[in-house]
């Protein structure tokens, strides 16, 4: 089958088949496991061919900052999983997200973002955009009245995360997409916490989806990568020139690791999510816990939003313990199986204290504006036995 027929056939596959077989581009050797091409440049058959490739008149690779075979396989597999026309993979999640934000903007443009964002995303919006003459407004992502007011003015980009760091806030993606389009802009959704297994923002009206593939997609704590997904015309016109000339290209080895990680993404995310739902209930029942945030628990303030757009509660939860920061630190230090780590989406369960780590750059008032205080722990549930995790967590909570 030629490549374009193979690509079209893959669009009829179900997600599990796409995750295992999508984007395969076999060499003449017929290898079963995807080949890892470590090369910076490509040899041309003739000077004419070199000129034709550079002009874009002939398909093929020209330089690995522009694209390379293993990275291209990952891009095609991710596009299939997301149901996106096109994907570009970068060296890290922030490489993808910073490019997704900066490439479409120019001086005088306006951006609206939800307050609850990954720390570096918030830093770009709050500190970098104003330096380049871009107007930024933050809103409470769960409050549609605030979105309506902010998007009553022409706006180029809207940036949200749902569920968001660190307290799993929910944003109504379809409603914000509609308001964004009325304001003439693009909605960018950072879908890291949900993954394409549980939530597909493009089907809800988002224009661009971004990922840190470092998280669930690698899923085993090994490499960093990121992805931008959207319509082919937007990616080719707006993002390709930016990515080619600024150079956040992913390393082929890292792309290969993520490609293999995707084969088990659905199995891992569904198993981790089932454990997380069980642990959220156990934690909520403990006397030393003040509050639990889990997207599919009915006591989550944004439960209705999460329930309508996310197919399960996901792998992440947050808990507030008695005793403020001292209580939170005692809890973390008493964990014996779970590691203290600010990464997430790993097969190993990981816990962190956002207000002194991932969100330490924000002032106390900024933290408070997203509901965060020093009593909160963010928890990424892994693939260990759920009973073992339950025992570890309850033992740590008993000593708070
Ligand atoms: C980790 C993360 C990022 C940044 O990705 P990196 O791969 O660390 O650069 C962005 N957004 C969210 C929600 C994340 O969890």
pLDDT (tens digit per residue) in 314-345: 999 999 999 999 999 999 999 999 999 999 99
For residue 217, pLDDT beyond 90: yes
How far apart CA 117 and CA 210 sit, in angstroms, is 13
Residues 70-82 have a mean pLDDT of: 98
- β-bridge partners, 377: 319
Categorize the per-residue pLDDT at 115 as very low, low, confident or very high, splitting at 50, 70 and 90. Answer: very high
C-beta 90 within 6 A of ligand 1: no
pLDDT, mean over the chain: 96
How much distance in Å is there from the Cα of 94 to the middle of ligand 1?
A: 6
Nearest CA to ligand 1 atom 11: 118
* DSSP annotation string for 36-92: ----SB---SSHHHHHHHHHTSS-S--BTTT--HHHHHHHHHHHHHHT-SEEEEESS
- Ligand 1: which atom is nearest the Cα of residue 95? 9
Residues 388-400 have a mean pLDDT of: 97
For 341-365, letters b (16+ CB in 10 Å) and e give ebbbbbbebbbbbbbeebbeebeee
How far apart CA 12 and CA 299 sit, in angstroms, is 38
How much distance in Å is there from the Cα of 165 to the middle of ligand 1?
A: 10
Q: Give the model confidence (pLDDT) of 153-181 as tens digits.
A: 999 999 999 999 889 999 999 999 999 99
Which domains are delineated in the chain?
3-262 (3.40.640.10), 266-398 (3.90.1150.10)
For residue 2, pLDDT beyond 80: no
User: With pLDDT > 70 as the criterion, what percentage of the chain qualifies?
Assistant: 100
């Amino acid at each position: 089958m030629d490549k374009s027929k193979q690509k079209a056939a893959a669009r009829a596959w179900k997600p599990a088949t796409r995750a295992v077989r999508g984007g395969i581009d076999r060499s003449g050797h017929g290898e079963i496991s995807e080949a890892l091409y470590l090369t910076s440049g490509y040899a041309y058959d003739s000077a004419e061919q070199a000129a034709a490739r550079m002009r874009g008149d002939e398909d093929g690779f020209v330089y690995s900052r522009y694209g390379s075979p293993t990275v291209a396989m990952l891009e095609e597999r991710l596009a299939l999983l997301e149901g996106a026309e096109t994907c570009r993979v970068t060296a890290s999640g922030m490489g993808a997200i910073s490019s997704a934000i900066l490439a479409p903007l120019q001086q005088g443009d306006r951006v609206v973002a939800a307050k609850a964002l990954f720390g570096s995303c918030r830093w770009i919006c709050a500190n970098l955009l104003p330096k380049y003459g871009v107007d930024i407004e933050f809103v409470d992502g769960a409050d549609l009245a605030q979105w309506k007011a902010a998007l009553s003015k022409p706006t180029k980009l809207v940036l949200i995360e749902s569920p968001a760091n660190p307290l799993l806030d929910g944003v109504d993606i379809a409603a914000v997409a509609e308001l964004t389009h009325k304001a003439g802009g693009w909605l960018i959704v950072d879908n890291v916490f949900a993954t394409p297994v549980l939530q597909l923002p493009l089907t809800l009206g988002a224009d661009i989806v971004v990922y840190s593939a470092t998280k669930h997609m690698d899923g085993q704590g090994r490499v960093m990568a990121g992805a931008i997904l959207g319509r082919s015309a937007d990616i080719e016109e707006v993002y390709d020139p930016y990515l080619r000339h600024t150079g956040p290209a992913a390393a082929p080895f890292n792309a290969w690791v993520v490609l293999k990680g995707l084969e088990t993404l659905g199995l891992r995310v569904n198993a981790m999510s089932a454990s997380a739902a069980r642990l959220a209930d156990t934690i909520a029942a403990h006397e030393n816990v003040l509050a639990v945030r889990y997207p599919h628990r009915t006591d989550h303030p944004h439960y209705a939003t999460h329930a309508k757009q996310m197919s399960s509660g996901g792998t992440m939860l947050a808990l507030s313990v008695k005793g403020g920061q001292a209580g939170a630190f005692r809890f973390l230090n008493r964990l014996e199986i779970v590691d203290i780590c600010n990464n997430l989406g790993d097969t190993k369960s990981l816990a962190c204290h956002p207000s002194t780590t991932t969100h330490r750059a924000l002032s106390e008032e900024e933290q408070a504006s997203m509901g965060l205080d020093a009593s909160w722990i963010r928890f990424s549930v892994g693939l260990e036995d759920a009973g073992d995790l339950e025992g570890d967590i309850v033992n740590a909570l008993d000593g708070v």
